[in-house]
Structure 1
Amino acid sequence: MGDSEHGNRLSEGLDPEQREAVHAPRGPVCVLAGAGTGKTRTITRRIAHLVNNGHVAAGQVLAVTFTARAAGEMRTRLRALGVQGAQARTFHAAALRQLRYFWPRVVGDAPWELLDGKLRLVGQAAQRAGAPTDRESLRDFASEIEWAKASLITPDDYGTATAKIGREIPGPAEQVSAVYSGYEALKTRARSMDFDDLLLHTAAVLEEHHDVAGEFRERYRCFVVDEYQDVTPLQQRVLDAWLGNRDDLTVVGDANQTIYSFAGASPRPLLDFSKRFPEAVVVRLERDYRSTPQVVALANKVIGAARGRPAGSRLQLIGQRPDGPQPHFAEFDDENAEARAVVRRIRKLLDAGVSASEVAVLYRVNAQSEVYEQALTEAEIPYQVRGGERFFHRPEVRQAMHVLRSNGELEIGANTLPDVVRKLLSTIGLTDEPPTGGAMREKWESLLALVELAEEFAAAVEDADLPRFVGELVLRAEAQHPPTVEGVTLASLHAAKGLEWDAVFLVGLTEGTLPIQHVLSDASGGSEGIEEERRLFYVGVTRAREHLWLSWALTRSAGGGGRPRRRSRFLYGLVPDDHPAALPAKGTVAGASSLRRDAAKPECRTCAGPLIGSVAVKLGRCASCPSDVDEQLLGRLKTWRADRAKQLKVPAYVVFTDATLMAIAEQRPTTVAALVGISGIGASKLDKYGSDVLDLVHAGGSDGGSSSLIRASEDQLE
């Protein structure tokens, strides 16, 4: 293939801005690339163009990004373009390769061992410094050391530096500094390095050994940095050492997607690129090929409301795809109702042909995953948790279950089950007020989720006690082992960065969750923190190609219990004024049960009053209205459920929950329409169990009649 023909192929399918970036002359180039604008295609074509036109040999190119997955994708695309030998690696992988090569010449002895993790040495340093040594504190100390090293802050400077910026720190500054200093001393004595040292040593070698720097710069002449908005001062120092006094550098980034400031990342090098290189070519990519115009319009509104946006971040995405559905907004009484509604919508998407792997549920904190793990399990929809352990696999949850199980003989007495659970979990870290952040906050969120499960269990099960609750937790833990190859993705917003799906559900959008509570309570840096939370929300919105769902719940617990919540400030201006979900914003307390969203709110079948809470909706009556349960029918239903659960080898609640059986026994549905009118009975449950349930209601009626009704009505269900 000739150069001209090859050059034409590299320009195929590019829009004018992408083509400008690809064909920019050798030298400094800054590509401001919005979400979904084809940045990877653009930079790999640029590398191929430079190689094809003889500006640089393939082996002289070093492209760096922030994840091994992104580096792998870049290498694959370069090979497909005929570029063999160009290096595409993460910062740390590139530094490790260079250190291994230069170490014998610079140090002279065997290479130091690379630590797999910091916690062991951090624990020793914490013990010597008289600091806390529990697992969560050590994780917070380790994270703080990583931030300090990424920010080029030494142990001696730590206290002054953190005070100057008002940073929240995991203990007294003197104590953290002592742990940091002790960790560094222990590590050096053991002749070991951590991942941050890979970058520090690489920069030092190139800065202090001119012969090594000369050899390296002769080897690599062209540099490309992806996700440049996430660069830390330490990574920038390494990049400067690589470059020397040269300027053959292409950077690509989007300041609107800076979401790692807590780890030391800053968009400033991206935004100041033109100041450092006045002759740089700057190209703006704003044509969004990922998302529908409806999703793009919402994303622009989200980021357009940001305060203090610097000029380089004011990208306005322009949707290039055909029209799609409008984003869906929904408000619910409690988290369980929200999760069930999300799963019902997911089932509809799957039935319509959307692949489960093209659906994601995204949340702000990992503890939010449990209610979705449970709802997906009950609906028999496979899922996988990305970037974190499944809820019942988390160390703090396993520890909590051990504490609860060990106190199984404890009498409830005059207390409620939730009170007893809260008291027991307070011995392992559950406090009345949440910690400010970090690993302690994550643990607190998980422990609080267990208390909320106790509240739900106590509301649904008469005479609920600790052993029964522990048994329920064990059953839930055993049930949540779905296949992970093809399934719905559950992920935090941070873990979703760089990914995309056909359908995205952004859930739990309330004040104190998004934006996170410790940002709201931070008097010193709250404004900056809130804007980073807004960017995180923007990242979540831009993960969706076509279907976008945004939802929130007014309380945590079923029945409207718990502290009322207010929907996230980031939703104001997004929810249409005439949308039912916009109505609560006009009230005074978003969590108040008097604020209703829908004129067609379900009514009590006894007193015709509004039903408040998921349990009341399921039963079809107010909690204060008398139950007219058919005890014999309820007994038959429980016996049948136990048999089916045994046959299917699943916990009984996976077939039907106690509340659903109670609703059936109270309402005694005799038709398919009446049966599916009960909350929690959709197409899947109807198909599997509908015939049996109607037979039990009819006390032995014909199978054939019920089954035919079920089959005829399936296409009428939601």
Structure 2
Amino acid sequence: MSADQLLDALDPDQRAVATALQGPVCVLAGAGTGKTRAITHRIAYGVQTGTYSPTSVLAVTFTARAAGEMRTRLRDLGVAGVQARTFHSAALRQLGYFWPKAVGGAVPRLVEHKARLVAEAASRIGLATDRLTVRDLASEIEWSKVSLVPAEDYAAAVTAEGRPTPAGQDAATVARLLTSYEDVKTDHGVIDFEDVLLVLAGILQARPDIADEVRRQYRHFVVDEYQDVSPLQQHLLDQWLGGRHELCVVGDPSQTIYSFTGATPYHLLTFTQKHPGAEVVRLVRDYRSTPQVVDLANRTLRAAGRDQVGGLELVAQRPPGPPVGLTAYDDDEDEAAGVAARIGRLVRAGTPAREIAVLYRTNAQSEAFEQALADAGIGYLVRGGERFFSRKEVRDAVLLLRGAARSMADAPLGDAVRDVLATAGWTPEAPAARGAVRERWDSLQALVALADDLAATPGTGLPALVAELDERAAAQHAPAVDGVTLASLHAAKGLEWDAVFLTGLSEGLLPISLAETDAAVAEERRLLYVGITRAREHLELSYARARNPGGRPNRRRTRFLDRIWPDDASSSRRGTRTGADVRTPAGRGPGRTSVATVDPDDADPALYEALREWRRATAEERGTAPSMVLSERTLRGLAASAPTTAAELARVPGIGQTRSTVYGESLLAVVEAHRRGRASSGR
């Protein structure tokens, strides 16, 4: 491919990137604007015109997947020899090459997991830890190292940033742990991943001869996702450059969502100050998403006002698509059921399951969607987190519940589960600590919430809960091939799908309750922006008014939708259709989800009324509320599927083994009476 042909494939802004071959270049690239295309064509154009030697270019990105994609695109453009690597991969390669010359001997063993070292370091200073505490402390060690914060400066740094210390420890204790951890590594003769960058940067600073050799090799640098660089990565980049300005950076400050790991947009936003005369190119033509999706993304950033720095106004290039939807559900189960039903309709209409994603703020939210999709017979895969029933705390909790099922079989279910899980660390109130401790509590709380749901059926005890958990664990072995993606918003960064469901958009979930500073809330808004811009065509937003079926509706939708959404879904069944579709689903409460081929909205009206009358009479007989017998959505599922056997009945979302046992015979009788009535009337 000739140099002119390379440029012919680009739009004017991308072409400006590709032809800016000399000096510092800053590319501000919005989501879906073809940044990878622009920078790979820039490298290829530089090689084709003789400006670059392929082996003199080092392109750095943040994930192995992105580096691999860059290498593939360069190869397709006929360019070989360019190094496209992650920061760690490039640094590890150089460290292995120069270590014998700089230090002598073999490079120390690289430890992939810090847990054992952190536990030993904690023990040396008399700090008691468990598995979760060790995990949170390891994360804090990583933050301090990538932020270039030594132990002696740790207390001042976390105070200045308003950063909470991990695992309930005070700053002085964490500082002591940082020193102890480095001592443990030295004693064992090992290094960690952060050391790879730190040690290489130190060698380049201390050995001018080695630094000169690296700088003779690499004369042109490209850094992707520059808004995510940490102080440590920038420090190494500075050593590579050695005061030169042959650097092209690409980033979007609106997609800075990893500040908790040390990432900062500071270097992107101050690039022109550090590199005077830098050429700045803005990519704003969005080729990924429909105008409806782009409009919502733009309005989300505009609503941030002064809190949004350096945001780009995207310009949609695709034809119009369906309106964006916002649905207010009655509770979390209803939300999972509704999302699964909508996914089922998309799949039946021809959207491949692999082109659909359900996104949420925390991994603990995945369980309801895993169950709903499994019940619906829709394959899924969980990205960026363990499957719910694979988590250690969940496995341990199920074992405890199984052991208690015999001795506490007759105890009230909710009380029994709380007593058992209290021995595993569950508490009535959520812990203030962030990180793994909170994630563990969320997992245990999900089991408590499930027990409360089952306890609505009188006479249900621990044995029934254990049986229900076994059924759910077995059903969640869904095939990972061509499955719907379940992912946290953080794990979705850099990905895209035809259809995206953004769920749990309520205060306390997004922004998460732990976001207490203005900066933290601003980052939560950017998370929403990232989620919105993952969608190519279909985008559905949703939240639940209550956590549990029948619970008090004390949630409100996220503040991030204030001033940008045309109507409130809590008060309008159908809002305006100028790019947005606001819905309130009929009825309250779910079955877990709809069977893949059954839509609750297709309920037979006459059968539905017969079932409602049955529910009213049953609730009156038991002295409870009708919604505690069966949810409205379960009734609609029954009226849509009209089961005729016990097996068919048990598969209706919201029935399950327990309700099938308690109500099965009478429910099948209602369905049979309805069927006979239709037959006798000739309908």
Task: Pick the TM interval, shorter chain.
Answer: 0.7 to 0.9
Q: Alpha carbons of 1:658 and 1:398: their partners in 2 closer, same or farther (altered >3 Å)?
A: closer
The answer to whether structure 1 residue 568 and structure 2 residue 573 are counterparts is no
Deviation at 1:567, TM superposition (A): 1.3
Shift of 1:467: 1.9
* Paired position in structure 1 for 2:534: 543
2:123 maps to what in 1? Answer: 127
| RCO higher in structure (CA 8 A, sep ≥6) | 2
Q: Is the contact made by 1:511 and 1:569 (CA closer than 8 Å) also made in structure 2?
A: yes
1:52 pairs with 2:43: no
Contiguous gaps of at least 5 residues in structure 1: 585-595, 604-615, 646-650, 671-693, 710-718
Q: CA deviation at 1:434?
A: 2.9
Alignment of 1:245-644 (within 5 A): 245-309=243-307, 313-411=310-408, 416-431=412-427, 432-459=429-456, 461-519=457-515, 522=516, 526-560=517-551, 564-577=554-567, 580-582=569-571, 621=616, 625-626=620-621, 640-642=645-647
Q: Residue by residue, what CA displacement relative to the aligned partner does 1:250-283 show, whole Å, maximum 9, x if unpaired?
A: 0000000000011111001000001111211000
Q: Which 4+ stretches in 1 moved above 4 angstroms?
A: 596-603, 616-629, 642-645, 651-670, 694-702
What whole-Å deviation, never above 9, does each CA across 1:173-212 have from its counterpart, x for those lacking one? 1221222211111111111111000110111011110000
Could you say if the C-alpha distance between residues 479 and 85 of structure 1 is closer, same or farther in structure 2, counting changes exceeding 3 Å? same
TM-score by length of 2: 0.87
- Aligned CA distance change for structure 1 residues 323 and 277 (closer, same or farther; 3 Å): same
Partner of 1:673: none
The DSSP-based 3-state class of the residue aligned with 1:407 is helix
Extract unaligned runs of 5+ from structure 2: 574-581, 590-610, 630-637
Is the Cα–Cα contact under 8 Å of residues 146 and 194 in structure 2 kept in the other structure? yes
The answer to whether the 8 A contact 1:292-1:320 is kept is yes
What percentage of residue pairs aligned between the two structures are identical?
52
Contact in 2 for aligned 1:378/1:654 (Cα 8 Å): no
Report how far residue 658 of structure 1 moved. 5.3
Q: For residue 655 of structure 1, report the CA deviation from its aligned partner.
A: 8.7
Contact map agreement 1:618 1:660 (CA 8 A) in 2: no
Residue 481 of structure 1: how far off its partner (Å):
0.2
After superposition, give the CA deviation of every residue in 1:275-326 in whole Å (9 maximum; x if it has no partner). 1112110001111000000000000111111143465x13100110000011
Change (3 A) 1:617 1:303: farther
Structure 1 counterpart of 2:44, one-letter code: A
One-letter amino acid matched to 2:402 = R
- Match of 1:242, as an amino acid? W
Contact 2:132/2:436 (CA < 8 Å) preserved in 1?
Answer: yes
Shift of 1:664: 7.9
Q: Shift in Å at residue 619 of structure 1?
A: 7.4
Aligned to 1:613: none
Tell me the distance in 2 between the aligned counterparts of 1:655 and 1:624. 16
Q: Give the TM-score taking structure 1 as reference length.
A: 0.83
Aligned runs of 1:5-20 on 2, under 5 Å?
A: 6-20=2-16
Counterpart secondary structure, 2:66? helix
User: The residue matched to 1:409 in structure 2 has which SS?
Assistant: helix
Say whether the 8 Å CA contact 1:377–1:482 is kept in structure 2.
yes
Q: Is the CA contact 2:327–2:585 (under 8 Å) kept in the aligned structure 1?
A: no
Amino acid at match of 1:329: L
Q: Which residue of the partner structure matches residue 600 of structure 2?
A: none
Aligned to 1:676: none
Q: Is the 8 A contact 1:642 1:652 kept in 2?
A: no
Distance 2:664 2:287 in 1: 48
Give the AA of the match of 1:416.
Answer: P
CA distance 1:351–1:598, change in 2 (3 Å): closer
Q: Is the 8 A contact 1:287 1:319 kept in 2?
A: yes
Contact 1:307 1:531 in 2 (8 A): no
Preserved CA contact (<8 Å) 2:326 2:583: no
Distance in 2, Cα, partners of 1:235 & 1:198: 11
Q: Distance in 2 between matches of 1:501 and 1:599?
A: 25
Counterpart Cα distance in 1 of 2:352 and 2:584: 32
Matches within 5 A, 1:16-27: 16-27=12-23
Q: 1:339 to 1:661 in 2, by over 3 A?
A: farther
2:95/2:196 contact within 8 Å kept: yes
Measure the CA separation in 2 of the matches of 1:268 and 1:622: 65
CA deviations over 1:9-67 (Å, ceiling 9, x no partner): 11123111111111114110000000000000000001111111111200111000000
Q: Secondary structure, in 3 states, of the residue corresponding to 1:308?
A: helix
Structure 2 counterpart SS, 1:490: strand
Q: Distance in 2 between matches of 1:293 and 1:541?
A: 12
Q: Does 1:148 align with 2:144?
A: yes
> Cα offset for 1:469?
0.8
Distance in 2 between residues matched to 1:572 and 1:214, nearest whole Å: 55
Q: Which amino acid aligns with 2:570?
A: A
- Distance, in Å, in 1 between the alignment partners of 2:446 and 2:524 is 22
Deviation of 1:128 after TM superposition, in Å, equals 1.9
Alignment root-mean-square deviation, CA:
3.0
Q: Over residues 447-480 of structure 1, what are the superposed CA-to-partner deviations in whole Å (9 max), with x where a residue is unaligned? A: 1111111111112x43111122112112211111
In 1, Cα distance between equivalents of 2:198 and 2:571: 51
2:433 partner amino acid: T
Distance, in Å, in 2 between the alignment partners of 1:137 and 1:257 is 30
State the 1:573 CA deviation.
2.2
Q: Distance in 2 between matches of 1:251 and 1:169?
A: 33
The Cα of 1:429 is off from its aligned counterpart by 2.2
Letter in 1 for 2:39: I
User: Contact conserved, 1:576 with 1:582, CA < 8 A, in 2?
Assistant: no
Is contact 1:100-1:111 (8 Å) kept?
Answer: yes
1:7-156 to structure 2, matched below 5 A, reads 7-156=3-152
The residue identity in structure 1 corresponding to 2:358 is V
| Alpha-carbon displacement from aligned partner over 1:558-611 (angstroms, at most 9, x marks no partner) | 1225x721211112123322x543559xxxxxxxxxxx98697589xxxxxxxx
Query: How far apart in 1 are the matches of 2:658 and 2:329?
Result: 21
- Counterpart of 1:612 in structure 2 is none
Deviation at 1:617, TM superposition (A): 8.1
CA contact (8 A) 1:619 1:662 kept: no
The verdict on how the C-alpha distance between 1:663 and 1:53 changes in structure 2, with shifts beyond 3 A counting, is: farther
Question: Relative to structure 1, is the Cα distance of residues 322 and 468 closer, same or farther in structure 2, using a 3 angstrom cutoff?
Answer: same
The aligned counterpart of 1:167 is: 163
d(CA) in 1 for partners of 2:588, 2:37: 51
Q: Which residue of 1 aligns with 2:579?
A: none
Query: Per-residue displacement from partner, 1:151-184 (whole Å, max 9, x unpaired)?
Result: 0011222112212222101111122122221111
